[in-house]
Amino acid sequence: MSLQDTADRSNCTAMSDVLNRIGDKWSVMVVGILARHDTIRFNELKRSINGVSQRMLTLTLRNLERDGLVTRTIYPEVPPRVEYGLTQLGKTLTNPIQALWNWSAEHHGAIIDARAIYDQRETAIAAEQPRKAAYARG
């Protein structure tokens, strides 16, 4: 299926479904880190992602596993060892995510500058507009 025709409802549904899963920051980071390792343990993955909570990482991994992008291997040891890796389908995301990371690194400064200009402009516009007074009826 091609997603060229955005007027086709099924194309929009497919794009929305996929972006809901892989478009969030934690999924992008998990796939990006897993792309650099054959397998990685949970705590090592957690240490690699600044700011992710244990609960959010667990949910993200579970959802990526459900979608067939991540494998979870449990080794019958004491204590149990669990490792995560990308599936063949998950590996197909490596290039798009790497491109997104590279683009983000290259253009982040420009985005920060654009935000500052926008915020200054909006602040100036708000300051120029007369304030509306609210009157209470007595």
pLDDT tens digits, residue range 74-132? Answer: 999 998 899 999 999 999 999 998 898 899 999 999 999 999 999 999 988 888 877 66
Which pLDDT score, from 0 to 100, does residue 19 have? 80
> How many H-runs (helices) and E-runs (strands) does the chain carry?
6, 3
Identity at 5, one-letter amino acid code: D
At residue 65 the predicted structure's pLDDT band, cuts being 50, 70 and 90, is very high
Range of the domain at 17: 9-128
CB contact at 8 A, 106 and 99: no
Which pLDDT score, from 0 to 100, does residue 29 have? 92
d(CA 7, CA 2): 12
Place of tokens 């983000």: 104
Q: Which of 40, 113, 118 is nearest to 73 (CA)?
A: 40
Both tokens assigned to 51: 């700011």
Report the pLDDT averaged over residues 8-23.
76
Instruction: With respect to residue 62, please indicate whether it lies within any of the assigned structural domains.
Output: yes
CB contact at 8 A, 40 and 90: no
CATH of the domain at 62: 1.10.10.10
Identity at 77, one-letter amino acid code: E
Place of tokens 């690194």: 105
Which pLDDT score, from 0 to 100, does residue 75 have? 92
Q: Specify the DSSP class assigned to residue 70.
A: E
Instruction: With respect to residue 100, please indicate whether it lies within any of the assigned structural domains.
Output: yes
Whole-number percent of the chain with pLDDT over 70: 86
At residue 41 the predicted structure's pLDDT band, cuts being 50, 70 and 90, is very high
**What is the pTM for the complete model shown?**
0.74
d(CA 29, CA 103): 14
> What is the number of domains present in the chain?
1
Ramachandran region of residue 74, left (φ > 0), alpha (ψ -120 to 50) or beta? beta
Flag the least confident range among 6-15, 32-41, 86-95.
Answer: 6-15
Q: In degrees rounded to 5, what are phi and psi of residue 39?
A: -140, 160
Instruction: With respect to residue 1, please indicate whether it lies within any of the assigned structural domains.
Output: no
Instruction: With respect to residue 72, please indicate whether it lies within any of the assigned structural domains.
Output: yes
